[in-house]
Structure 1
Amino acid sequence: MLGHMTATEAFLVLSCLGPDRPGLVAELTHYVSEHGGNVEDSRMVVLGGEFGVLLLVSGSPEEVSALETSTADIEKQTGLQVIARRTKSPEEHRRAPTIPCLVTAEALDHEGIVRAVARALSATGVNIVSLEAMAYEAPVTGSPLFRMEARIDVPAGVSVGKVRKAMDAVAEEENLEIDVRSLVKG
Structure 2
Amino acid sequence: MPQLDEHYLVITALGADRPGIVNTITRHVSSCGCNIEDSRLAMFGEEFTFIMLLSGSWNAITLIESTLPQKGAELDLLIVMKRTNAQYQQAMPATVWVKVEVKDSPHIIERFTNLFHCHNMNIAELVSKTQPAKDDTPPILHIQISAHSPASQNSSIIEQAFAKLCTELNAQGSISVVNYPQHDDRMES
TM-score (norm 2): 0.85
Q: How does 1:69-84 map to 2 (within 5 A)?
A: 69-84=66-81
Identity %, equivalent residues: 25
162 and 62 in structure 1: CA distance in 2 versus 1, 3 angstrom threshold: farther
Shift of 1:172: 2.2
Shift of 1:163: 2.1
Equivalent position to 2:39, from 16, 30, 42: 42
In structure 2, C-alpha distance between the alignment counterparts of 1:7 and 1:183, rounded to whole Å: 33
Shift of 1:65: 1.9
Shift of 1:165: 2.4
- 1:59 — aligned with what? 56
In structure 2, C-alpha distance between the alignment counterparts of 1:53 and 1:100, rounded to whole Å: 26
- 2:22 is the counterpart of 1:28: no
- 2:140 is the counterpart of 1:145: yes
Moved over 6 A (4+): none
Q: CA RMSD in A?
A: 2.3
Shift of 1:161: 2.7
Instruction: Provide structure 2 residue ranges, at least 5 long, that are not aligned to the other structure.
Output: 182-189
In the alignment of these two chains, the number of paired residues is 181
In structure 2, C-alpha distance between the alignment counterparts of 1:112 and 1:149, rounded to whole Å: 16
TM-score (norm 1): 0.86
Equivalent position to 2:165, from 147, 170, 181: 170
- 1:115 — aligned with what? 110
Q: How does 1:120-131 map to 2 (within 5 A)?
A: 120-131=115-126
Instruction: Provide structure 1 residue ranges, at least 5 long, that are not aligned to the other structure.
Output: none
In structure 1, C-alpha distance between the alignment counterparts of 2:139 and 2:158, rounded to whole Å: 27
In structure 1, C-alpha distance between the alignment counterparts of 2:109 and 2:159, rounded to whole Å: 16
